Amino acid sequence: MSTTIPTASIHAAVVPHGPGRLAGAALASVRAADLVIAADGGARRLLDLGITPHYLVGDLDSLPRETVTRLAAAGCQLQCHPADKDATDTELAIALALDQGATDIDLVGATGGARLDHSVANILLLAADWPAGVRLRLVEAAATALVLRAGQSVDVSGTVGDIVALLPLAGAARGITTCGLQYALAGEDLAFGRARGVSNVMTTPVASISLAAGVLLVIHQLPD
């Protein structure tokens, strides 16, 4: 999935605590990143792949003390926060990426596992009011997701047969136009809370989606 971003952009990968090893598009994002930030237990997922993050952020309640010491000795910079706070470790890691000048931020491996609340919260972070010019994506092994706002468009690059889902957030998404999808929309609306936009299919290697009004979650999923 691609959007237009500034030429001098900094690509940051934020890795939250989660189950399993990073693979596929998630791992590729980390390896391509200029800046890698682990949110608490996400550091363990990186170390399992032989990757030392540039920063470790959070209350560090998911890591053994010896792991934190090992990371610090390897040059990872620590930002410790109290357990009682008004933001998740993942959100704090995004804020740090922004402070470091990142304009292209991937949340890597941020869904799945036993904590449904964290998975939903991480998806909804895509719809937060981030600074203008910042692109925030969620990247899993076989799926990517981002949010479109009023007047924006995106080109989804993939393969014929890939799945694309369009899900309204914060009310109805209006004036949606698509090209390259099996179930085309021509300036149509999708109602909030309804599943009409699920399981569309790419008919060309690049599909385009534009939005006139509202907030729209766009998910590009590789088929099983």
Distance CA(220)–CA(99), nearest Å, equals 29
Name the token pair of 3: 């959007």
Tens of pLDDT, residues 31-41: 999 999 999 99
For the question of whether the overall pTM of this predicted structure is more than 0.85, the answer is yes
pLDDT for the residue 2: 37
pLDDT for the residue 62: 85
pLDDT for the residue 61: 85
pLDDT for the residue 46: 96
Q: Which of 162, 159, 134, 135 is nearest to 146 (CA)?
A: 135
Distance CA(156)–CA(6), nearest Å, equals 18
Which structural domains are found in the chain, ordered by start? 11-141 (3.40.50.10240), 147-221 (2.60.120.320)
- By three-state DSSP, how is residue 32 classified? helix
Tens of pLDDT, residues 5-17: 334 689 999 999 9
Q: What is the pLDDT along the chain (224 residues), one digit of tens a residue?
A: 433 333 468 999 999 998 888 999 999 999 999 999 999 999 999 999 999 999 999 988 888 899 999 999 999 999 998 888 888 999 999 999 999 999 999 999 999 877 899 899 999 999 999 998 899 999 999 999 999 999 999 999 999 999 999 999 989 999 999 999 999 999 999 999 999 999 999 999 999 999 999 999 999 998 87
Distance CA(114)–CA(127), nearest Å, equals 23
Q: Which of 99, 124, 151 is nearest to 217 (CA)?
A: 124
Q: Which of 170, 108, 168 is nearest to 140 (CA)?
A: 108
Which residue is it, tokens 């076989």?
142
Residue type, 118: H
